[in-house]
Amino acid sequence: MKPVPDCIPDALALVLQTARIVSDDPFIHKKVLMRAMDELADSNLPETPNEVFFRVFAASCKALGVKDPYEKLKARSIKVIAGLEADFQKRIETAAERLPACLDLLMATSVVSRKALGRAEMESAIQEQLGRAPSKDDRQKLLESLGSAKKILYVLGICSSLVLDRLLVEELSKRAEVTVVAQSSPAYEMATAEDAVDAGFSKESLLLPGAEMYGLDLSRASREFRNSYGEHDLVIARGEANYHALNDSSKPVFYLFATGCPFVTAEYGVTSGAFLISPASKQKAQAD
């Protein structure tokens, strides 16, 4: 796990990004940054990276007077990717194996979707990315785990990949019962239930942790959610925030995410932006 003090500069950079989404006023930017720094200074330093990022996000929203600064950005990213869904469906239907095809599309979209691209540029970037192999590809282990799983918990990440998440979940649902986890409240670009529904998920398929958080923090989740979590055979977690939150889990967990954190890239020996299909650290250690 990334050491917490090293997270603080990255968290403050995200605070500034958040403020600039809402306002062009430098005074507002300074005010929000000061509020975020006060939040960290006035309390004990959070124990996890995700807690650092969530606290400064909450402080930013309060200072800006908005509930979800990323609402429009998330909606736009979902719309752009949704415009390519017919092409994605065609590629999946014509593939030799549908599930690996979904993983390839999810990988490609995750790597490029955070860039400010229009539909044509996005389509070209995804096509280029499809020709590249993941930097860490344990999909065979994932497929083997799917063979014995009866109940799968699929934890959503950022909104820009939600359409591909849904296509993958549809394929997984042919093999097992799948429950999808969304954020209970906004946190940067992470998918809330409302975002997931906008991307085509059914409201009935969604499970919420029952508390505000960034990534799936089981220590903050409701008792009902933790009980449900324990009933699942396999967890598939999307995004680096969920990697930080669940990497010490004793339950079988597989991560699908594009790297950004320098400590994660160092751990795997990859470059920033590399896509990983990997089991949790405890599972990796047992396999070794």
Walk along the chain (288 residues) in steps of 10 and give the mean pLDDT of each run. Answer: 76 95 97 93 77 94 96 91 92 94 88 62 75 80 92 94 95 96 96 96 94 93 95 94 83 89 86 85 49
pLDDT for 3:
56
E strand or H helix at 275, and its extent? strand 275-279
By three-state DSSP, how is residue 256 classified? strand
CATH class entry, domain 75-287: alpha beta
Question: 22: which 2 tokens?
Answer: 């809402």
**Res 238: pLDDT:** 94
Predicted local confidence at residue 281, as pLDDT: 58
Give the pLDDT confidence score for residue 1 in this predicted structure: 52
Model confidence, pTM: 0.92
Q: In terms of C-beta density within 10 A (0-12 exposed, 13-18 middle, 19 or more buried), how is residue 104 classed?
A: buried
Q: How far apart are CA 5 and CA 165, in angstroms?
A: 32
**Residue 175 class from Cβ within 10 Å (0-12 exposed, 13-18 middle, 19+ buried)?**
middle
Write out the DSSP string of 27-90: HHHHHHHHHHHHHHHTSPPPSSHHHHHHHHHHHHHHHHT-S-TTHHHHHHHHHHHHTTHHHHHH
Within 10 angstroms of residue 283's Cβ, the number of other Cβ atoms is 19
Task: Classify burial at 125, counting beta carbons within 10 Å of its beta carbon; exposed 0-12, middle 13-18, buried 19 or more.
Answer: middle
Percent of the chain with pLDDT over 90: 61
pLDDT of residue 207: 96
- Domain extent listing, the chain: 4-64, 75-287
Kindly state the DSSP code that residue 161 receives in the 8-state scheme.
G
**CB-based contact 248:283 (threshold 8 Å):** no
